[in-house]
Amino acid sequence: MMLSSYPLWWLALPVLLLPIWWHRQKRQRLKAELLATARFLPSAPPQQLRVWQWRDRMLLLVRCVLLVTLIAWLAATIFPWRGDTVLIDSGADNAWTEQQITAAGFTSAARAALPPNALQWLRAHERDWRPAARLLIVARAGQIAMPARVPQFSHPIEVRTAPHSVAAAAPRTEQHITVAATADRAMAWQSLFAAFDVAGNAATRHKLSAEPDANTTLIVWDMPAAAPPANWRAANWWIAAADAAPRGDAVSSAPAVPAAGVARPAFPELANASTLTLNGITMKYADSARGRLWTSDAFPPRDADTARALYESWQRLSAAPSPPYATPSQIFGSTRSALPAISNARPAYWLALALLALFIIERILTHARRT
């Protein structure tokens, strides 16, 4: 089976139309007869008539096969063209990056952006580098996942990752939250999300608004006498219990008084809601066309302990997947003697011989036609 190391070469197949077009046209000169009155007419060059017909079908076939063989040979043949290269993480500190490049002796090497899954990408594209080429990867800590097994490369690859003290700080994320609450409850919700802003090392900022937009991830609905607009959409909704009494500050030290929450009539999906208990907080949830609906007697919390438990529970429900183990700074030696793509590309040899034979036949047929 033919191996296509560079399959994009097969996009050149439309060039077969060139010999077909050339062999189908034939120029035939019209026979000109001089008339006695021609001397009174302006002189004009003889005209030619193009007649479409097949000519030299054997030569046409040889030329088409020659072009197909040439494209197949280019698609199966490896042409290493890269030299020493540095793959740089765009988020790494510039001063630290230049220091590492100079220390590794890659000052004059070409530079390229670090692709996702760098080690796997290098294994797939390592054939692009010349045999004597070296590679250097400069990245922040945690940007390169540690593989389950030590990867094998045909080129020496050095990985230099920045320590956590040098790595750029992670940007602070922002969550857009819409709060629709009565006047006596709005302050409690604002105090709750203000406490959320400083929790978790202040990694997330909660931006409150009165109406949702395309960036809204959570809608808080605490208006017992009203139904939300039909066009409001968000991934999650917090719906306060219908019979909950007005509360004071969300982070006050008053003891919690549980209330038997009843779902709002505006949200009939909560009638068949599932129940979930985390950190002592019981929540009910159900999916709807508006988004996932959540309700609990702890909306909003009455004391600091309930607020802390609600924050931890919500973080567990919306937690991102754990990051993979980071690859530390190390050097991968050239432990692979030959690249699989090159060792399996044996059809390129007989394709080269076939290409030479077809070229000789094409020249012979072209010369025979002229003679």
DSSP of 101-167: HHHHT-TTSEEEEPPSSHHHHHHHHGGGB-TT--EEEEE-TTSSBPPSS---BSS-EEEEE--TTTS
Q: 177 lies in a domain?
A: yes
Strand 157-161 relative to strand 204-209, pairing:
unpaired
Q: 311 lies in a domain?
A: no
> How much is the pTM?
0.44
Same domain for 183 and 271?
yes
Same domain for 92 and 121?
yes
CA distance 275 to 257: 20
| 313 CB-side CA count, 13 A | 19
CA distance 173 to 205: 6
Q: Is the peptide bond before 328 cis (omega within 30 degrees of 0)?
A: no
Q: 219 lies in a domain?
A: yes
Q: 315 lies in a domain?
A: no
Tell me if 113 sits within 8 A of 138, measured CB to CB. no
Same domain for 177 and 293?
yes
Same domain for 238 and 295?
yes
What pLDDT tens digit does each residue of the chain (371 aa) get? 344 455 666 777 888 888 877 777 655 455 566 676 766 777 766 665 555 555 677 888 888 888 888 887 777 666 677 899 999 999 899 999 999 999 999 999 999 999 988 998 898 888 888 888 999 999 998 888 888 788 889 899 999 998 765 545 556 688 899 999 988 889 999 999 988 888 866 678 889 999 999 999 999 999 887 889 999 999 999 998 765 544 444 343 333 333 434 446 788 898 889 999 988 899 999 999 999 999 998 888 888 888 888 888 888 887 555 556 778 889 988 876 655 444 444 446 677 788 888 889 888 888 776 66
Q: 317 lies in a domain?
A: no
Listed residue (22, 93, 6) closest to 55, CA to CA: 22
Q: 320 lies in a domain?
A: no
Same domain for 151 and 196?
no
Same domain for 55 and 128?
no
Q: 329 lies in a domain?
A: yes
Q: 37 lies in a domain?
A: no
Same domain for 329 and 357?
no
Residue that the structure tokens 């042409």 belong to: 79
Cβ-Cβ contacts under 8 Å for 166 (sequence gap 6 or more): 93, 96
- For the chain, the domain total comes to 3
- Domain region containing 125: 85-167+325-337
Residue 356 zone, left/alpha/beta (φ > 0; ψ -120 to 50; rest): alpha
